[in-house]
Amino acid sequence: MTVPAHLALADGTLFPGFALGASGHALGEAVFTTGMTGYQEVLTDPSYRGQIVTMTAPHIGNTGVNTEDPESFDGKPQVAGFVFRDPSPVVSNWRSEISLAKYLEQHGIVAIAGVDTRRLTRYLRDKGSQNACIGTGDPSALVDRAKSVPSMEGLDLVRQVTPVKPEAFEQGYAEWNPFITAGNGADAPAARPHVVALDFGAKRSIMRLLVQSGCRVTRVPATLSALEIEKLSPDGIFLSNGPGDPAPLDYAVKTIAELLGKRPIFGICLGHQLLARALGANTYKLKFGHRGLNQPVKDLTTSRIEITTQNHGFCVDVASIGSRAKTTHLHLNDGTSEGLEVPDAKAFSVQYHPEAAAGPHDSLYLFNRFMQLMHG
C-alpha cells in the first residue's frame, strides 16, 4: 500500500506522489539531472550534498544498488532527498545486491516516487532551482518547511564532506573491479609522481583515475594550509569537485593562491571555480545549473566537442578572469565557463567531471595532460 506524499517548493507549488525510502522529511534545494542512467553515482556524489535530486529519466531502480559503485568515500548516499517517476518493481543485474527502495530506507534517505518529473523539470528550468521539502501529511506545512531551508548561496558544504586528516588513496581501476576498465586513460609511467588532492568532496572514480594514470595520491582536508601541503612534497596539486557555493571558501582560495606557480595544478568542478577565484575571478549562481551526463562542451584549443558529465549550480564569470588565465572550454548550451588555463603557473581546470562516473569517456585525456605537466 502506497502512502501519499508531496514535494513542496518554497514558492508554494506542490507535486504529488507517494512516499518511498525512509520516513520523515527531506529538506534541500530541488534540482534535476538529465542522465538516463547512473542513479547510484548520483545518490552518492558528494557534490549533491544538501540537494533534493530529481531524475528526469522516468524508470529508476531496475538495476538495483551494489556496494562497489558508491562515489562517496564513506560509501553512503549524499543527497538530501530523491525524486523520480516510476520505481522499477523488478531488479535485474548481476552486480545488484539490494533494491533501490531498500537502499534508500537503509540509509535514511527520504524519497518520493510517482511524481510528474517532466512537469517538475520544466518548472525548475523556467523558474530556477529553489528550496523544497519532501514529506507526508499537511502540504501547507511542507511548504513552510521548504521556506525555512537556508539559501545555497553563501553556504559552505565542503566542511561536511572533506576528510578529517591526510590519507593515501591507492585503489586503481583494476583493484576496484577487474571487469570495469578506465577507457583510454593515461598509461602508468615508471616514475610515480606524488599528487596531493585537496578533497572538497571528491568522487572515488576521479581518485581512481589519478592512480590509474600512475600517480601516488594523498587526499587531504580542504582546510589544509599551503605550507602543510608543501611539507608533503607533492609533484602536483589536484583540486577536486565538491558541493555548494565557492564564494565562502576563503580558506581554500588562499591556499590555492599560495600554491600557484609552485607545482602543476589540475582542478575539476568546484576546483575549477576555486582556481578561478584564486586568480581574482568572480563566481555566480546559475538559474538551474548543469547536472547530467550529456552536457556538450567545446574545447576551444582543438575545436573538439566533448559530451561531458556535470554537476554544479555555480559558475565562473568568464569576463572577470581577465588576462591572467585563458578560457579553454565553453558550454555549448549557454556559453558559460567550462575550462581555463594558466600557462605560466602550469595550472588548468575544467568545470565538468572527466572521470565518466557515470558518463562518457570523452575527457579522459585531461589526466594525461596533468601527467605531462608534472613530468615537465
- The arithmetic mean of pLDDT across residues 160-189, rounded, is 73
pLDDT tens column, 199-233: 999 999 999 999 999 999 999 999 999 999 999 99
Asked if domains 4-147 and 158-374 share a fold, the reply is no
Q: Are 313 and 285 in contact (CB under 8 A)?
A: yes
pTM of the model: 0.95
Residues with active-site annotation? 269, 353, 355
Cα separation of 215 and 354, whole Å?
17
CATH of 158-374, one of 3.30.70.141, 3.40.47.10, 3.10.580.10, 3.40.50.880: 3.40.50.880
Specify the CATH number of the domain 4-147: 3.50.30.20
Q: Closest by alpha carbon to 237, among 204, 254, 215?
A: 215
Report domain extents, the chain.
Answer: 4-147, 158-374
Q: Closest by alpha carbon to 159, among 242, 218, 89?
A: 242
Of 182-191, 256-265, 267-276, 346-355, which range is least confident? 182-191
